[in-house]
């Protein structure tokens, strides 16, 4: 099982640790782990393109949360809605879903890890885990397509140049 899949599985297992009445620490770790599953999915997919496998972990250290969010914002589709997975008809639909899920997960992770004033409920953790799973499904549907590969490159913080006609 790939590291990202392990993390997603772990998020679910953490959320279920305390049964029906989980504590705040458990819920926060589940939310945070769901984000890191998505984070490492993207990093793993991007670095897998590097032919010298022993350098992939080092390349992975180049990724930054803020730059990854900026890349996601470009692909997130503004105020368009996300269709359910079975009605995502185009690669753009899938990429938009991945980008939106990533942005939401990153912000939830920030709150789960650092905002000790906010309380969490099991449904919070469940929602984040389900959204991360949904992003994984959409990513798997498009991962080899050119736009998906471009998305990975932009997540490194690359800036696109505007080309004149």
Partner 1 sequence: MGMRHGGPKRDNGTVIPARAFIHEREFAEAVQKVEQKLRASGSVIRIRHELDYDSTGDPAVYFRIVMPDSSLTKDNLLRATDDVANALVEDLHPQERWGVYPYFRFRSQSGQEAMQEPSWA
Nearer to partner 1, 19 or 66 (CB): 66
Per rule CB under 8 A, is residue 13 in the interface with partner 1? no
Stretch that binds partner 1, among 87-95, 122-130, 144-152, 157-165 (CB under 8 A): 122-130
> How remote is the C-alpha of 145 from its chain's centroid?
18
Residues 64-103: x/- map of binding to partner 1 (CB under 8 A)?
-xx--xx--x----xxxxx-x------------------x
Instruction: Quote the CA–CA distance of 12 and 133 in Å, as a whole number.
Output: 10
**Chosen residue from 4, 37, 134, 152 binding partner 1 by CB under 8 A:** 134
Residue 116, burial from CB neighbour count under 10 angstroms (0-12, 13-18, 19+): exposed
Per rule CB under 8 A, is residue 60 in the interface with partner 1? no
Closest C-alpha among 136, 132, 153, 154 to residue 35: 132
Scan for tokens 């890890």, then name that residue.
Answer: 113
Query: Is the CB of residue 136 less than 8 Å from the CB of residue 8?
Result: yes
Nearer to partner 1, 33 or 106 (CB): 106
Tell whether the torsion through CA atoms of 21, 104, 116 and 4 is positive or negative. Answer: positive
Per rule CB under 8 A, is residue 160 in the interface with partner 1? no
Give how many residues touch partner 1 by CB under 8 A. Answer: 29
* Joined tokens for residue 115: 């905002």
Per rule CB under 8 A, is residue 45 in the interface with partner 1? no
Give the footprint of partner 1 on this chain (CB under 8 A).
Answer: 65-66, 69-70, 73, 78-82, 84, 103-104, 106-108, 110-111, 115, 119, 121-124, 126-127, 130-131, 134
């Amino acid at each position: 099982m790939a590291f990202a899949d392990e993390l997603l599985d772990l998020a679910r297992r953490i959320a279920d640790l305390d049964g029906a009445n989980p504590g705040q620490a458990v819920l926060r770790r589940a939310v945070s782990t769901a984000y890191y599953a998505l984070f490492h999915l993207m990093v793993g997919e991007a670095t897998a393109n590097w032919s010298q496998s022993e350098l992939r972990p080092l390349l992975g250290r180049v990724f930054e949360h803020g730059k990854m969010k900026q890349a996601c914002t470009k692909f997130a589709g503004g105020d368009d809605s996300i269709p359910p997975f079975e009605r995502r008809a185009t690669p753009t639909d899938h990429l938009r879903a991945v980008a939106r899920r990533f942005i939401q997960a990153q912000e939830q992770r920030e709150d789960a890890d650092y905002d000790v004033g906010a309380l969490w409920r099991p449904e919070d953790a469940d929602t984040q885990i389900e959204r991360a799973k949904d992003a994984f499904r959409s990513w798997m549907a498009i991962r080899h397509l050119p736009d998906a590969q471009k998305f990975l490159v932009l997540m490194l913080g690359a800036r696109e140049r505007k080309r004149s006609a």
